[in-house]
């Protein structure tokens, strides 16, 4: 790609989970005091972008965007078919059931299926689990065990029984199929970025060793937890184990097969490593059974995690990071642990490590291990300090940061804490803007998907759902668009006419701001030279 000319440094700030909602009292972004974003809207180039569904490579426009596909879209500069779509295709065509990994699994004693049980379609989908169960039964697998992680994050916060009750009935109709264990996704198994290996340890002890509070069924477990703690949500349900008169019904044992059926990678890598790695320092696994382990997809193509998988992951080449490095542009990339992999691995097309060691500096600020509504400011100020320091150093052409507050605090469903989170983010953007004004840099601010912008569950008519006279909190992502702000007063840019643009257009926009051309096949850039 032609290297046109050297341009001012660009600060690319991703406000994770800060979408553009109804602009009413259900919208924590609107209810927050955001003088910086308000001023940016008035003084910068501004428009809205699609950040969900087909605009980010998901199967339908009913599918919420998420940070993985959002950062893929930013870095790819074009729409890439994502995990959910690829799994749908592999199941629909039957290709999944013809692969070598599937055939190996069908030769195991017991088939164990571990993953998130909901229709959120962010990490997993209940239809995929059902297809795996039906396919295994059809192919002669007589003993099937499900280890069900409850959601409450990508779906309503206490909706687990919506999927668990019919799933147990479907399993009961098969010769020897049962739910064996489970618990909330934010307490066990689904850690990411090595933020808290104790989550994975709890999952290992529950699913593999059969350790957890005993119940006769998963439905009984969830109902008991709801009754004992009216405030507990599905993502924080304690570990439970299903037992009969002989004890746990589904420990993972020697000679078994295990599928981790989530398609999204970030929260699947650590449990995959626990099953596969010989030298494993993170917790004592005890006697480790020799099993055949497969992921729904290969979650890290560079590190080959896991070794065996059912569906090929998306292949993303020609990323923004590659073009920047090849053109000699220097990048500084930073986030806290919860989103560090997004501004690095996912932005770089599901590629581990740096694209060019000489051209890139990456920095991770370690996230706190507490519920995020207890400290809604998170690490935003420290990230902002580091980004401004990188800008002042004069060493970097591209500074990329993710402020995770809107998403991580929004997922707690705590409205007041989410307002505080958004206000903190707004303050940090103000600091970045002041530094850009002083140093002659360009500021591009956007989001990867919505969340904090819709904190109340709505019915199909868009009216708030009431429970005991109170609005029902929402802790999942939204289908709302996200804002795009570009402040570049020293450059002759204007908004281009790109109808229905999605966040994939950010990629080409970043390359134009870096003085590079728009690569073939990229989505149209959001800007053009003013007449």
Model confidence over 478-526: pLDDT tens digits?
999 999 999 998 888 999 999 999 999 999 999 999 999 999 999 999 9
Q: Of 72, 73, 71, which Cα lies nearest the Cα of 402? A: 71
SS3 label, residue 180: strand
- What's CA 232's distance to the chain center, in Å? 22
pLDDT above 80 for 209: yes
pLDDT above 90 for 5: no
Q: Of 292, 328, 297, which Cα lies nearest the Cα of 311? A: 297
Q: How far apart are CA 428 and CA 443, in angstroms?
A: 13
Q: How far apart are CA 236 and CA 72, in angstroms?
A: 28
pLDDT above 60 for 55: yes
Catalytic residue flag (residue 505)? no
pLDDT above 80 for 177: yes
- Give residue-wise pLDDT tens across range 83-111: 899 999 999 999 999 999 999 999 999 99
Q: How far apart are CA 225 and CA 232, in angstroms?
A: 7
Poorest-confidence range of 41-50, 161-170, 299-308, 414-423?
A: 299-308
Residue ranges of domains in the chain: 10-78+316-529, 84-311
* pLDDT classification of 63: cutoffs 50, 70, 90: confident
The continuous run of DSSP H or E covering 444 comes out as strand 442-446
Cβ distance 167 to 179 under 8 Å? yes
- Give residue-wise pLDDT tens across range 15-25: 999 999 999 99
Poorest-confidence range of 66-80, 289-303, 456-470?
A: 456-470
Q: How far apart are CA 361 and CA 401, in angstroms?
A: 12
SS3 label, residue 250: coil
Q: Of 509, 401, 447, which Cα lies nearest the Cα of 49? A: 447
Please count the residues of the chain: 531
- Give residue-wise pLDDT tens across range 227-280: 999 999 999 999 999 999 999 999 999 999 999 999 988 899 999 999 999 999
| Predicted pLDDT of residue 224 | 98
| Predicted pLDDT of residue 4 | 52
Q: What angle do CA 135, 91, 241 make, to 5 degrees?
A: 50
Cβ distance 313 to 297 under 8 Å? yes
Q: Give the mean model confidence (pLDDT) for residues 126-154.
A: 97
Q: How far apart are CA 178 and CA 143, in angstroms?
A: 9
| Predicted pLDDT of residue 1 | 53
Active-site pick, 26, 67, 85, 475: 67
| Predicted pLDDT of residue 527 | 98
Structure letter (DSSP) for residue 27 = -
The continuous run of DSSP H or E covering 325 comes out as helix 320-326
37 φ, ψ (degrees, to nearest 5): -65, -35
Parallel, antiparallel, or unpaired for β 45-49 and 240-244?
unpaired
Report the percent of the chain where pLDDT is more than 90: 86
Helices (H) and strands (E) in the chain, counts: 16, 20
Q: Where is pLDDT greater, at 459 or 282?
A: 282
* pLDDT classification of 3: cutoffs 50, 70, 90: low
CATH entry 3.40.1450.10 includes domain 84-311: yes
- Cβ density class 391-413: b for 16+ within 10 Å, e for less: beeeebbbbbbbbbbbbbbbbbb
**DSSP letter string over 437-485?**
HHHT-EEEEE-SSBSTT--B-B-TTSPBPEETTEEPB--S-BS--EEEE
| Predicted pLDDT of residue 328 | 96
Q: Dihedral of CA 135/141/142/148: which sign?
A: negative
Structure letter (DSSP) for residue 522 = P
* pLDDT classification of 302: cutoffs 50, 70, 90: low
Q: Where is pLDDT greater, at 5 or 204?
A: 204
DSSP-H helix ranges across 116-253: 126-138, 161-172, 197-207, 218-228
Parallel, antiparallel, or unpaired for β 493-495 and 527-529?
antiparallel
Q: Of 524, 145, 519, which Cα lies nearest the Cα of 320? A: 519
* 497 C-beta neighbours (distance < 10 Å), count: 9
The continuous run of DSSP H or E covering 390 comes out as helix 380-393
| Predicted pLDDT of residue 48 | 98
Q: How far apart are CA 207 and CA 309, in angstroms?
A: 20
Cβ distance 473 to 455 under 8 Å? yes
| pLDDT averaged over every residue in the chain | 95
Q: Regarding the domain with residue range 10-78+316-529, which homologous superfamily does it belong to in the CATH classification?
A: Alkaline Phosphatase, subunit A (3.40.720.10)
Poorest-confidence range of 115-124, 141-150, 470-479?
A: 470-479
| Predicted pLDDT of residue 179 | 98
Q: What pTM did the predictor assign?
A: 0.78
Strand partners, 502: 50
Q: Of 424, 428, 485, 484, which Cα lies nearest the Cα of 452? A: 424
Q: Give the mean model confidence (pLDDT) for residues 311-321.
A: 90
Structure letter (DSSP) for residue 346 = I
Same fold? 10-78+316-529, 84-311: no
pLDDT above 80 for 300: no
Q: Give the mean model confidence (pLDDT) for residues 71-82.
A: 95
Alpha-carbon Rg for the chain, nearest whole angstrom, is: 23
């Amino acid at each position: 790609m032609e290297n046109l000319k050297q341009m001012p440094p660009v600060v690319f700030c991703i406000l994770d989970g800060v979408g553009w909602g109804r602009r009413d009292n259900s919208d924590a972004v609107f209810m927050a005091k955001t003088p910086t974003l308000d001023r940016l809207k008035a003084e910068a180039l501004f428009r809205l972008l699609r950040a969900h569904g087909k605009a980010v490579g998901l199967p339908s426009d009913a599918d919420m965007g998420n940070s993985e596909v959002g950062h893929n879209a930013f870095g790819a500069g074009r729409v890439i078919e994502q995990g959910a779509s690829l799994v749908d295709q592999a199941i629909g065509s039957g290709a999944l059931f013809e692969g070598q990994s599937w055939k190996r699994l069908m030769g195991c004693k017991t088939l164990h299926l571990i993953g998130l049980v909901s229709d959120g379609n962010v990490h997993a989908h209940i239809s995929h689990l059902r297809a795996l169960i039906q396919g295994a039964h059809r192919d002669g697998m007589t003993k099937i065990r499900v280890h069900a992680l409850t959601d409450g994050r990508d779906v309503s916060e206490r909706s687990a029984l919506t999927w668990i009750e019919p799933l147990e009935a479907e399993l009961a109709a098969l010769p020897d199929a049962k739910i064996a264990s489970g618990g909330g996704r934010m307490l066990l198994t689904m850690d990411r970025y090595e933020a808290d290996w104790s989550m994975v340890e709890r999952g290992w002890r529950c699913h593999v060793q059969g350790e957890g509070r005993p119940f006769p069924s998963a439905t009984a477990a969830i109902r008991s937890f709801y009754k004992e703690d009216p405030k507990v949500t599905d993502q924080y349900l304690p570990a439970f184990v299903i037992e009969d008169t002989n004890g746990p019904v589904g420990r993972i044992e020697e000679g078994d097969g295990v599928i981790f059926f989530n398609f999204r990678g970030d929260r699947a890598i650590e449990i995959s490593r626990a099953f596969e790695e010989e030298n494993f320092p993170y917790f004592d696994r005890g006697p480790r059974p020799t099993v055949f382990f497969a992921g729904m997809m290969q979650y890290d193509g560079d590190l080959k995690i896991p070794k065996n998988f059912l569906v090929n992951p998306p292949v993303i080449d020609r990323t923004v990071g590659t073009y920047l490095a090849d053109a000699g542009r220097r990048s500084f990339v930073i986030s806290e642990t919860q989103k560090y992999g997004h501004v690095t691995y996912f932005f770089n097309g599901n590629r581990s490590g740096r694209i060019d060691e000489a051209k890139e500096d990456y920095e991770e600020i370690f996230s706190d291990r507490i519920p995020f509504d207890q400290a809604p400011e998170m690490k935003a100020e420290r990230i902002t300090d580091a980004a401004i320091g990188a800008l002042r150093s004069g060493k970097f052409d591209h500074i990329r940061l993710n402020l995770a507050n809107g998403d991580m605090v929004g997922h707690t469903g705590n409205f007041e804490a989410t307002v505080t989170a958004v206000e903190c983010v707004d303050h940090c953007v103000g600091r970045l803007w002041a530094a850009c004004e002083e140093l002659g840099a360009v500021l591009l601010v956007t989001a990867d998907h919505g969340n904090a912008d819709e904190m109340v569950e709505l019915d199909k008519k868009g009216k708030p759902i009431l429970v005991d006279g109170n609005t029902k909190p929402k802790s999942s992502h939204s289908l709302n668009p996200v804002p795009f702000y570009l402040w570049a007063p020293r450059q002759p840019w204007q908004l281009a006419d790109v109808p229905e643009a999605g966040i994939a257009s950010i990629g080409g926009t970043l390359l134009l701001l870096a003085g590079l051309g728009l690569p073939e096949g990229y989505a149209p850039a959001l800007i053009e030279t003013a007449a």
